[in-house]
Structure 1
Amino acid sequence: MAGEILDNEGRGEAGWSWPPVHPEGRKYGLIAGVVALFFLLVLDWEIVGWPLLVLTFGVFAFFRDPRRIVPQDPDAIVSPADGLITLIRKVPPPLELQMDDGSGSAGLGTDEVIRISIFMSVFDVHINRAPVSGTLRRLVYIPGKFVNADLDKASEDNERQHLLMEREDGVLVGFTQIAGLVARRIVPFVKPGDMLAAGQRVGLIRFGSRVDIYLPAGTEPAVVLGQKAIAGETVLARIGQTRLIEGIAL
């Protein structure tokens, strides 16, 4: 994943700009805009046209795809999603990620690992990114329900897509895209066998959802409940580091 290098000594250039809209969302924004203009200019129904025009801007904003500055730390596991960290607990990995799938790709095993759950509201960026650099070994789509993605049972009941990455040193990191109440489609940008860089875009979930990430054994979170995570930038953990981190809500 090529990109501009910026560092803590002032190298590179930074500036604010309007974030681009991902191509996946442009068609929805254009459809909403055409319908809004039809009601405003053709039917002269302002009571319907203006709310639809506001909705059009909302659709474009939902599919925004801002640039992210990815930490170049080989031990860092970066957040795969924007959103609020709502759950941190020890659980067994999903069945689809536990065992060898027959392709020679080892799984995460059956022992409990730490799962960090990141809830994305409709106001968050919904482009998901790779948490580490490595090879995508597994991508498994599971149809399911559409209960509130903020609930713990969403990890097992909702429509979801499991991804398993293997770093060059053999460390495995799994994560799961989970659809929510409003979300109705998980869109992948990658396929098994792809070589991915940390922070590289791997897919999106339309309209409100959640992402779970499963930390390797012997690794503790570097974030706390209630913290806001930024995809590709927030370091969720560093492989092999275990220490208590506390936060104070002010």
Structure 2
Amino acid sequence: MKANYREERNRALDKRKWIIVPDAMPMLALGIALTLIIYFWLGFPWAFIPFLFVIFTLYFFRNPERCVECKAEDVVSPADGVILAVEEVREDRFLNGPAVKVSIFLNIFNVHVNRSPIAGKVAYVFYQAGKFLPAFKGHASHLNERNYVGIVSENNPRNRVLVVQITGFIARRIVCWVKEGEVLQQGERFGLIKFGSCTEVYLPKGSHIFVQKGQKVRGGETIIGRFYNE
């Protein structure tokens, strides 16, 4: 059983490292088929339209390698994008107390793969159905469809983060590749949101925050904060 589990996990990890996210394959197959059909039926000028769709799909679902160079207590950005807000809140779902929420807006041209902010164990996964309001709206995080992933640091159980994948007006599907009990390395891919969205990360109150509103960040590379341990 353990050997089978390791083999399945290794296969899953390999797919997460594909240069194009595997979830794009059905769309790519459809786009290529339409391009070929229209090309042989109507000619190149008309086939150029579905061909552009193929190019856009390849671009949107790109899955670049990222080099994580930071300390164990550092928290890296879970997504590419722009910081929408940094605010103190109360988080009762996973952190169970005062927290700092960092909101990241992803436009349609950003890499949409989500990465683990810390190295640790996935202790909480929960999907919440909801609406599809524009992701840059402040109340979207409370009303939109979203998925929660709580991770506990492998070095200190007190250090934990909650990452929230949130859909937007265009984004209509959240993909999460991990389950409770899995162990993630810092910067490891764990899911994506299709076509424009918002990703939030909650840190315990007292954590040092290194980003501010309007700043651009890169998933798996930009250090957004650091745990404070007395």
Query: What range is the shorter-chain TM-score in?
Result: 0.7 to 0.9
Aligned 1:27-106 pairs, distance under 5 A:
27-44=26-43, 46=45, 48-93=46-91, 95=92, 97=93
Which structure is higher in RCO with an 8 Å CA cutoff and minimum separation 6?
A: 2
Q: Report deviation, 1:220.
A: 3.0
Q: Distance in 2 between matches of 1:45 and 1:158?
A: 41
| Contact 1:26/1:60 (<8 A) preserved | no
Matched to 2:96, the amino acid is G
- Specify the SS of the correspondent of 1:92: strand
Match for residue 122 of structure 2?
A: 136
Match for residue 161 of structure 2?
A: 173
Q: Report deviation, 1:193.
A: 0.5
Q: Report deviation, 1:25.
A: 0.9
Kindly provide the CA deviation profile for residues 228-249 of structure 1, in whole angstroms up to 9, marking residues without a partner as x.
11110000011129xxxxxxxx
| Contact 1:137/1:166 (<8 A) preserved | yes
1:120 maps to 2:119: no
Match for residue 193 of structure 1?
A: 181
- Specify the SS of the correspondent of 2:55: helix
Q: Distance in 2 between matches of 1:40 and 1:86?
A: 43
| Contact 1:188/1:204 (<8 A) preserved | yes
Q: Distance in 1 between matches of 2:153 and 2:97?
A: 20
- The alignment yields a C-alpha RMSD, in angstroms, of 1.7
Q: Which has the higher helix share?
A: 2
Q: Distance in 2 between matches of 1:224 and 1:64?
A: 27
Kindly provide the CA deviation profile for residues 185-222 of structure 1, in whole angstroms up to 9, marking residues without a partner as x.
11111100001111011101111111000112211310
Q: Report deviation, 1:45.
A: 7.2
Q: Distance in 1 between matches of 2:44 and 2:219?
A: 40
| TM-score, length basis structure 1 | 0.80
Matched to 1:37, the amino acid is L
Q: State, as a whole percentage, how many aligned pairs show the same letter.
A: 34
Q: Distance in 2 between matches of 1:187 and 1:52?
A: 25
Q: Distance in 1 between matches of 2:178 and 2:97?
A: 26
- Specify the SS of the correspondent of 1:207: coil
Unaligned stretches of 5+ in structure 1? 3-18, 98-106, 242-250
Matched to 1:145, the amino acid is K
Match for residue 16 of structure 1?
A: none
**Worse-superposed segment, 21-30 or 204-213:** 21-30
> Aligned pairs, how many?
211
Q: 2:206 aligns with which of 197, 218, 223?
A: 218
Q: 2:95 aligns with which of 105, 108, 112?
A: 108
- Specify the SS of the correspondent of 2:180: coil
Q: Distance in 1 between matches of 2:169 and 2:142?
A: 14
Q: Report deviation, 1:49.
A: 2.3
Unaligned stretches of 5+ in structure 2? 1-9, 11-17
Q: Which has the higher strand share?
A: 2
Q: Report deviation, 1:75.
A: 1.3
| Contact 1:114/1:220 (<8 A) preserved | no
Q: Report deviation, 1:26.
A: 2.3
